[in-house]
Amino acid sequence: MVEISELIKIKNIQTKIDQITEFIKKEVFEIYQKKGVVIGLSGGIDSTITAALCSKSIGSEKILGLILPEKESDPNSENLAQQIANKYNIETKTIDITNILESFGVYENKEKIVKEKFSNFNEECKYRVVVPSKLENNIGMPLLEVLDDKNVLHKLKISSFDFLNLTAATSIKHRVRMTMLYNYAEKNNFAVIGTTNKTEYLQGYFVKYGDGGSDIEPLVHLYKTQIYQISKFFKLPEKIINQDASPDVWSFKTNDEEFFYAVPYSVVDLILYARENNLSINEISKISSLSTEKIEKLIQFQNQKQNKSQTMRENPHSIKLEG
CATH classification at residue 279: 3.40.50.620
**Is residue 323 predicted with pLDDT exceeding 60?**
yes
**Is residue 2 predicted with pLDDT exceeding 90?**
no
User: Cβ distance 115 to 127 under 8 Å?
Assistant: no
In terms of Cα–Cα distance, which of 29, 40, 57, 23 is closest to 221?
A: 23
What pLDDT shows up at residue 244?
A: 80
Model confidence at 4, pLDDT cuts 50, 70, 90, reads confident
What pLDDT shows up at residue 247?
A: 84
Q: Are residues 222 and 277 in the same domain?
A: yes
**Is residue 199 predicted with pLDDT exceeding 90?**
yes
Give the count of domains, the chain: 2
* Residue that is last in its domain, among 147, 166, 185: 166
Average pLDDT, integer, range 164-183: 97
Average pLDDT, integer, range 94-115: 97
Q: Are residues 135 and 281 in the same domain?
A: no
pTM greater than 0.85: yes
Q: Are residues 202 and 261 in the same domain?
A: yes
Average pLDDT, integer, range 260-286: 91
Q: Are residues 140 and 237 in the same domain?
A: no
CA dihedral 204, 205, 206, 212 (to 10 degrees): -60
Q: Are residues 42 and 92 in the same domain?
A: yes
In terms of Cα–Cα distance, which of 181, 231, 216 is closest to 67?
A: 181
Q: Which long-range contacts (CB under 8 A, 24 or more apart) does 151-158 make?
A: 154/118, 156/117, 156/118, 158/113, 158/117, 158/129
Average pLDDT, integer, range 238-263: 83
**Is residue 1 predicted with pLDDT exceeding 70?**
no
> Would 318 be classed as within a structural domain?
no
Query: How far apart, in whole angstroms, are the C-alpha atoms of residue 107 and residue 120?
Result: 17
> Would 190 be classed as within a structural domain?
yes
**Is residue 138 predicted with pLDDT exceeding 60?**
no
Lowest mean pLDDT among 105-114, 214-223, 257-266, 269-278: 257-266
Mean pLDDT for all residues in the chain: 93
**Is residue 262 predicted with pLDDT exceeding 90?**
no
Range of 293's domain?
13-102+167-311
**5 or 83, which is more confident?**
83
> Would 70 be classed as within a structural domain?
yes
Beta carbons within 8 Å of 94's beta carbon, 6+ residues apart: 66, 67, 68, 69, 78, 82
CA dihedral 255, 261, 263, 266 (to 10 degrees): -90
What pLDDT shows up at residue 36?
A: 98
In this structure, how many other beta carbons lie within 10 angstroms of the beta carbon of residue 304? Answer: 12
> Would 300 be classed as within a structural domain?
yes
Q: Are residues 305 and 227 in the same domain?
A: yes
Sign of CA dihedral 3, 226, 206, 41: positive
* Residue that is last in its domain, among 148, 166, 184: 166
> Would 98 be classed as within a structural domain?
yes
Computed on alpha carbons and rounded to an integer, the radius of gyration of the chain in Å comes to 20
Task: Classify residue 216 by its DSSP letter.
Answer: B
In terms of Cα–Cα distance, which of 164, 268, 278, 286 is closest to 224?
A: 268
Q: Are residues 173 and 303 in the same domain?
A: yes
What pLDDT shows up at residue 152?
A: 97
What pLDDT shows up at residue 254?
A: 82
Q: Are residues 77 and 110 in the same domain?
A: no
What pLDDT shows up at residue 258?
A: 65
Q: Are residues 172 and 304 in the same domain?
A: yes
> Would 316 be classed as within a structural domain?
no
pLDDT in tens, 47-66: 999 999 999 999 999 999 99
> Would 319 be classed as within a structural domain?
no
Q: Are residues 179 and 276 in the same domain?
A: yes
Query: How far apart, in whole angstroms, are the C-alpha atoms of residue 185 and residue 204?
Result: 25
**Is residue 225 predicted with pLDDT exceeding 80?**
yes
Instruction: Looking at the chain, list the stretches that DSSP marks H as alpha helix, in order from N- to C-terminal side.
Output: 13-26, 45-58, 75-87, 98-103, 106-117, 160-188, 198-203, 224-233, 238-242, 256, 265-276, 281-286, 292-308
